[in-house]
Amino acid sequence: MNQMPPLPSLPARRNILTVLGASMAAGLCACTNVTPPAAKADAASATAFSEPPPPTSPMPLQAATPATVRFTPSPTPTKKARKHYVPDVGLPPVENGLAPVITRILTKHPIVFLTIDDGGTKTAEMVALMAEYDYPVSIFLARAFIQDNPGFFTQFAAQGSLIENHTISHNLNMVQLNYAQQLAEITTMQTYVKDQYGRLPTLFRPPGGAYSNLMRKAVADAGLKAIITWEAKANAGQMDYQVGNSLRPGDIVLMHFRPEFAADLSAFRQAQLAAGLEVVLLEDFLGVE
């Protein structure tokens, strides 16, 4: 085996990831090529959360040829103490049997929330990157993607991330199922996550982002606290925004466990640092751990 060249410095590696990420062609979107529409501002509303209207049914996935981005972690990553922010908003309650839908948290704190979905691609590089940057993340997993190796994700849990509910089958037309079918998708995944990781999920993300009041009822009846959507995503090595052209305090960012994970995480990190925001665990801030 040939001897590996000396590892580049962390800034150099980030620069490499940035160049590679920027050159990648637009590929897969957030579970589908349909993203929930942005929430409309309501000056008369006293809510501290942004909630979009239900999006239309998602479109099928579009295939893309993933690029390969190599990453080698520092031998001894330097970690700083995570800042603690006292929540200045509260989680909306379940009302009329319907779980709240949260797209963005309208906080005054300089914070952002990173969420990662599905679980189809599993590499040591992903674990190394998350350890390098020390990001606490809400991980929305679907059994269909992780059942071949569910133990892989315990590594992220050990880093301080939490595993949440993204259904059993990842049916992109879940919103069209009847109540019993939707409830079964959610409750069966609740049991699966509890058996695998020792914790019941508290948050739910529908496949593709589409939801309805029927789904909100199923989510509430399954014991979950909220449906989580997004207005920003790291995708195909770049950031996509439904509102504005940069990250805002309280944004919930969507990513996926895909081959382009390193490029997506690099794009997110650049946007996060440029906006001067700290990555905070969503469950911690909402008080639903």
> What pTM was computed for the model?
0.75
pLDDT of the residue at 224: 98
* Sites in the chain below the pLDDT cut of 70: 1-82
Do the Cβ atoms of 253 and 234 come closer than 8 Å?
yes
- Residue type, position 53, single letter: P
pLDDT of the residue at 121: 97
Partners of residue 255 on adjacent β-strands:
116
pLDDT of the residue at 261: 98
Tokens of 21: 């990420």
pLDDT of the residue at 57: 35
Q: Tokens 């133990």 correspond to what residue?
A: 151
Query: Which is it for strands 226-228 and 162-165: parallel, antiparallel or unpaired?
Result: unpaired
Tell me the C-alpha distance between 230 and 234, whole Å: 11
Tell me the C-alpha distance between 216 and 95, whole Å: 10
pLDDT of the residue at 289: 77
